[in-house]
């Protein structure tokens, strides 16, 4: 019947008494000893039940059994109600608080009888030792909340608040029992925390006879005893503290749906109430229960009835120190003036922090005054306009108006010294906080920045002086270099002049001699004509090279401004009126190339441009340079007549310009490609890999 993996020792006899299970340690119950319990169901809801064997009760969690896959026979859960006799077989388990049974089978054996409830005290409720027992508790119902699957009420018993959860018929007519004295019968099941510690006494029941009325509540909640606001928790020989009280006053502050402050004379009291549409200035009657959890008397579960309207007191201008001192109490006697807790006050201080984790959470502004830091709380639905939000800066002086609530220690002082330890303000809207002095421009942060900037400026000045000295040295070197460069330029000019005056003139003379030979009688010999033509071509090419050398010596654009600028200068010089339009297009990063490389590339560009100007008859000539980290690509294209690159002249005279371009490309490791067709222009591309 029991899965072997579940049981510590399937041969052991099962435990048959609930008290033995309750007394198991957590370690022993974790070994899952077998159990077999015969008893009566005293509570059943949502697959969870309490079973009582006549002396003690225990939690039986079919939900846990289903989760662990242990529940073999669940038929006994069908129709199971309080008062049914059952036999439960399963294993013991540590449970989340007290020991419990994880059932494997549940079998109904007929109708049983609920055990006699055990009357327990507030001390036993706090201790939690009666977990699982069928108990009886008397008290006053102070509040009822109807939920989807159950009804929960707050039962004040012996000064202790105990929650009662009733299911099904047990919850019938419960809302009408608020302020009634009752006896509640049910299973004791205290709530616990994650450390398996009891934190809240709770009784649960699904039995229709769970509540017995001892003294019914008044039909009208305002028929309760009437007391003055300043005597809510004062001495009375016949005080009934746990029933409703009725009091009167003027509403001074409202946090809709949560609470409001009620004032009568010099006394202000906090009233927890979900009453809608309350307005400050209303004169009201309030029926509610005294809240003993606060230092000052307060009311909870308040029901409000409007009786008129009254003029509100103006807010009192005070300091945090005065507010705290107003509520100080010693054994020597009362303070000379009434406390200001709950009163409308006006304070001044400096903003130290503005908290808002999201647009849906309330805004809290932390303000410091008299060396006391306190929060000013705005409603959750507060909307700040941008200008207002911008003015709420840390360090700005603000004036806030709101309801003051004093804070005390969580436990009484053994010496009878009851001093407030803090305060907070409740603001009606963002308009209750007014900036009276914006943040000065010279804030500590800005002053720190300014001093840092001054120090940095001094450091920069020192650094600049050192840099200036270094630049002077560099400038001296530059001037020396320029003087040297000037001498070099003068020498280049002299060489160019000599080349022009000697070599080029001599080549011109040779050209004239060749022209004379061409007119002689021997010029009719075909062989002589071919040799003469070849010599003329060679001479023409030599003259062009000589002119370029002279131009290179006189033109320092390549040396001073780089290859791209030299190309642009070349295009500008060639773009003349009446000739083709010459443009340049340069793209990419200008990587540095050795001068010998750029020199050869520039000569290729010159030769290509010269050929296009002389032979192509083009309208447009484009010089395009594309540069990246991998290669240089120089392209000279025109839309002129074009030619056949493979064509050889009948005379056999080679194209010295094309030969020269290929030789220059080969010298620098570049590839030269010529694409041309008759009537379709010419494109010359030089591709140079960048190492």
Q: Where are the beta strands (DSSP E) in 206-297?
A: 211-215, 245-255, 259-264, 267-272, 282-291
Cβ-contact 91, 34 below 8 angstroms: yes
Instruction: Report the alpha-carbon distance of residue 689 to residue 671 in Å, rounded.
Output: 9
Pairing of strands 118-119, 134-146: parallel
pLDDT digits (tens, 9 = 90+) for 575-595: 777 788 888 998 887 667 777
The candidate with the shortest Cα–Cα distance to 432, out of 384, 390, 372, 361, is 384
Per-residue CA distances from 357 to 351, 361, 364, 380 (Å): 17, 6, 10, 12
Total residues belonging to the chain = 691
Q: Which two tokens stand for residue 529?
A: 């004509």
One fold for 1-115 and 556-689: no
DSSP 8-state symbol, 226: B
Pick 402 or 357 by higher pLDDT.
402
- Does residue 253 carry a pLDDT above 90? yes
Pairing of strands 160-166, 202-205: parallel
Q: Which two tokens stand for residue 295?
A: 């230092």
| Cβ contacts of 393 within 8 Å, gap of 6 or more | 351, 438, 439
Q: Is CATH 2.40.50.200 the right assignment for the domain spanning 1-115?
A: yes
> Domain 221-309 belongs to what architecture?
Beta Barrel (2.40)
Q: Region 59-81: what's the mean pLDDT?
A: 90
Q: Which residues pair with 674 in a beta bridge?
A: 684
Residue-level pLDDT at 265: 92
Residue-level pLDDT at 648: 58
pLDDT digits (tens, 9 = 90+) for 466-478: 888 888 788 777 7
Pick 36 or 561 by higher pLDDT.
36
pLDDT digits (tens, 9 = 90+) for 40-51: 999 998 889 999
Cβ-contact 227, 247 below 8 angstroms: yes
- List the chain domain ranges: 1-115, 221-309, 316-437, 441-554, 556-689
pLDDT digits (tens, 9 = 90+) for 212-221: 999 999 999 9
Lowest-pLDDT range, 251-260, 319-328, 363-372? 319-328
- Does residue 133 carry a pLDDT above 90? yes
Burial (CB < 10 A; 0-12, 13-18, 19+), residue 648, is exposed
Pairing of strands 202-205, 198-200: unpaired
**Confidence band of 607 (pLDDT split at 50, 70, 90):** confident
Instruction: Report the alpha-carbon distance of residue 614 to residue 157 in Å, rounded.
Output: 117
Q: Region 57-73: what's the mean pLDDT?
A: 91
- Does residue 403 carry a pLDDT above 80? yes
Q: Is CATH 3.30.1540.10 the right assignment for the domain spanning 556-689?
A: no
Lowest-pLDDT range, 98-102, 299-303, 607-611, 680-684? 607-611
Cβ-contact 64, 201 below 8 angstroms: no
Cβ-contact 125, 147 below 8 angstroms: no
Average pLDDT, the chain: 83
- Does residue 644 carry a pLDDT above 50? yes
Lowest-pLDDT range, 169-183, 316-330, 332-346? 332-346
DSSP 8-state symbol, 292: T
Residue-level pLDDT at 5: 45
Per-residue CA distances from 214 to 136, 203, 272, 441 (Å): 13, 18, 27, 71
Pick 685 or 520 by higher pLDDT.
685
Pairing of strands 191-192, 198-200: antiparallel
- Does residue 504 carry a pLDDT above 70? no
The answer to whether the Cα torsion of 542, 543, 546, 551 is positive or negative is: negative
Instruction: Report the alpha-carbon distance of residue 412 to residue 258 in Å, rounded.
Output: 27
The candidate with the shortest Cα–Cα distance to 341, out of 328, 354, 360, 355, is 328
- Does residue 167 carry a pLDDT above 90? no
- Does residue 250 carry a pLDDT above 50? yes
Residue-level pLDDT at 59: 94
Lowest-pLDDT range, 148-152, 209-213, 387-391? 387-391
Residue-level pLDDT at 553: 47
- For 316-437, CATH gives 2.40.50.140
Cβ-contact 57, 40 below 8 angstroms: no
């Amino acid at each position: 019947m029991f899965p072997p993996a579940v049981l510590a020792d399937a041969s052991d006899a099962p435990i048959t008494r609930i008290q033995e299970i309750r007394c198991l340690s957590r370690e022993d119950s974790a070994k899952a000893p077998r159990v077999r319990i015969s008893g009566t169901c005293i509570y059943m809801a949502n697959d969870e039940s309490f079973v009582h064997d006549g002396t003690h009760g225990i939690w039986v969690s079919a939900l846990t059994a289903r989760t662990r896959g242990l529940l073999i026979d669940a038929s006994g859960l069908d129709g199971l109600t309080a008062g049914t006799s059952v036999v439960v077989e399963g294993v013991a388990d540590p449970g989340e608080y007290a020991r419990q049974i994880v059932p494997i089978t549940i079998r109904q054996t007929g109708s049983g009888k609920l055990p006699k409830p055990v009357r327990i005290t507030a001390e036993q409720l706090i201790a939690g030792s009666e977990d699982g027992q069928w108990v009886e508790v008397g008290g006053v119902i102070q509040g009822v909340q109807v939920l989807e699957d159950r009804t929960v009420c707050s039962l004040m018993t012996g000064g202790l608040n105990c929650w009662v959860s009733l299911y099904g018929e047990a919850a019938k007519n419960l809302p009408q029992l608020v302020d009634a004295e009752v006896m509640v019968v049910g299973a004791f099941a205290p709530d616990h925390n994650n450390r398996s510690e009891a934190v809240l006494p709770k009784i649960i029941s699904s039995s229709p006879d769970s509540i017995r009325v001892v003294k019914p509540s008044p039909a009208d909640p305002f028929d309760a005893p009437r007391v003055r606001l300043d005597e809510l928790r004062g001495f009375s020989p016949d005080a009934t503290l746990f029933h409703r009280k009725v009091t009167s006053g003027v509403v001074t502050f409202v946090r809709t749906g949560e609470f409001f402050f009620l004032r009568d004379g010099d006394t202000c009291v906090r009233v927890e109430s979900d009453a809608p549409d309350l307005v400050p200035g209303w004169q009201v009657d309030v029926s509610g229960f005294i809240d003993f959890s606060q230092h000052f008397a307060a009311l909870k579960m308040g029901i409000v009835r409007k009786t008129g309207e009254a003029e509100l007191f103006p807010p009192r201008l005070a300091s945090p120190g005065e507010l705290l001192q107003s509520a100080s109490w010693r054994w020597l006697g009362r303070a000379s003036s009434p406390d200001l807790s709950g009163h409308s006050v006006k304070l001044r201080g400096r903003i130290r922090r503005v908290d808002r984790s999201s647009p849906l959470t309330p805004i809290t502004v932390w303000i410091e005054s008299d060396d006391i830091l306190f929060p000013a709380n705005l409603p959750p639905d507060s909307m700040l306009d941008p200008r207002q939000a911008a003015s709420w800066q840390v360090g700005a002086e603000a004036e806030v108006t709101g309801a003051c609530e004093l804070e005390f220690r969580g436990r009484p002082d053994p010496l009878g010294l009851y001093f407030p330890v803090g305060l907070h303000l409740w603001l009606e809207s963002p308009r209750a906080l007014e900036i009276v002095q914006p943040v000065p421009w010279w804030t500590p942060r800005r002053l720190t920045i300014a001093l840092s900037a001054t120090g940095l400026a001094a450091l920069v000045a020192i650094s600049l002086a050192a840099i200036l000295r270094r630049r002077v040295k560099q400038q001296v070197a530059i001037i020396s270099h320029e003087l040297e460069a000037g001498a070099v330029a003068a020498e280049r000019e002299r060489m160019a002049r000599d080349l022009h005056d000697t070599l080029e003139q001599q080549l011109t003379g040779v050209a004239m001699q060749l022209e004379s030979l061409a007119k002689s009688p021997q010029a009719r010999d075909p062989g002589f004509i071919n040799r003469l033509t070849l010599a003329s071509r060679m001479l023409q090419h030599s003259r062009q090279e000589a002119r370029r050398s002279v131009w290179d010596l006189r033109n320092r654009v390549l040396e001073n401004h780089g290859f791209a600028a030299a190309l642009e200068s070349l295009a500008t010089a060639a773009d003349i009126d009446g000739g083709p339009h010459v443009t340049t297009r340069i793209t990419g990063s200008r990587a540095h190339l050795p001068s010998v490389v750029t020199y050869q590339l520039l000569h290729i560009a010159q030769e290509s441009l010269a050929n296009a100007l002389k032979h192509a008859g083009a309208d447009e000539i484009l010089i395009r340079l594309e540069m990246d980290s991998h290669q240089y690509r120089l392209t000279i294209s025109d839309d002129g007549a074009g030619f056949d690159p493979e064509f050889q002249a009948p005379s056999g005279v080679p194209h010295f310009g094309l030969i020269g371009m290929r030789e220059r490309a080969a010298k620098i490791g570049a590839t030269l490609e010529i694409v041309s067709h008759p009537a379709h222009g010419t494109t010359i591309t030089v591709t140079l890999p960048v190492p």
